[in-house]
Amino acid sequence: MTQNLPSPASPLKIGTRGSPLALAQAYETRRRLAEAFDLPHEAFEIVVIKTSGDNQALIAADKPLKELGGKGLFTKEIEEDLLSGVIDIAVHSMKDMPVAQPAGLLLDCYLPREDVRDAFVSPKFSRLQDLEPGAVVGTSSLRRRAQLMNRRPDLKVVEFRGNVQTRLKKLHEGVAECTFLAMAGLNRLAMADVPATAIETSDMLPAVAQGAIGIERRGDDSSTAAMLDAIHDVTTGQRLAAERAFLAALDGSCETPIAGLAELDGGTLRLRGEVLRPDGSEAIAEDQSCPIEDGAELGREMATKLLTSAGPGFFDWRA
């Protein structure tokens, strides 16, 4: 069967948010597709879509994401345009993706994963341990807040919304003495001048799917599916299958402090998971291994075990 490839006259349309990081991820997707099929970049059109999460009033509000509408704030309009045919594929940061996709859409293509670690960012200090009691830390992540309060309950945490550049601006304005960013974002934006120190996963387990880019498509678009198959990274897919099954079984969202990371060693998958009370007063962790092909099942089993250990009300941030 002859595959219909895009061309400058009839480009494949790549949907993305308009932040610098989102655009960097879209450009990486375009580059990989162009190289895989020996096509000019003009055969791919980057379509910027403004989402509810890009509303400046929401960003300025500095409220937890759970109070603003959840992860869907960053995907709803993009997925609507994908379903209607305005765009052909959508590029997402996987750590911000809901665990379920709308009917008619599939998310089964992942690019090679970047650095999964969190970064400690401060113009004054190089490590979390160096902060004095009472120091102000800015983060909009419920997971990072809970992990921080679990390890350093003597610190004060304030909301810190916005993209990477916005948060760095707030930091230099003195709103907080430090913040946390994903190493993957800093690397993709080539921001080597940012005063950042990577935090080992043994000290701060990252968000599920952190560092991964996912590409969403319509389920009935076989031509696009074949193109995406050429750039899909199998290893990343295997890791995310375990992590996202873990998250889904925990009913994971922006309302729940959950961390998870799958790593491969030969034919074995190691999955580490952590759930925390929103105030950081308690953390429960698990560390298990299985054959790679059983990763998703292990994710579900680990989630069930952690939920049993946590008990009812463990995640209730409304209390």
Q: Hey, which residues are catalytic here? A: 96
Handedness of CA 301, 306, 307, 309 (dihedral sign): positive
Task: Tell the residue number behind the tokens 């304030």, with chain if given.
Answer: 158
Token pair for 95: 């750590």
Nearest Cα residue to 258 out of 270, 240, 241, 272: 272
CB 55 within 8 Å of CB 74: no
Nearest Cα residue to 177 out of 160, 165, 202, 162: 160
Q: What's the Cα-to-Cα distance from 5 to each of 1, 46, 192, 219, 270, rounded to whole Å?
A: 12, 16, 37, 18, 39
Burial class (CB in 10 A: 0-12, 13-18, 19+), 289: middle
Residue 197 makes CB contacts below 8 A (sequence gap 6+) with 119, 120, 121, 126, 127
Q: How far apart are CA 133 and CA 136, in angstroms?
A: 9
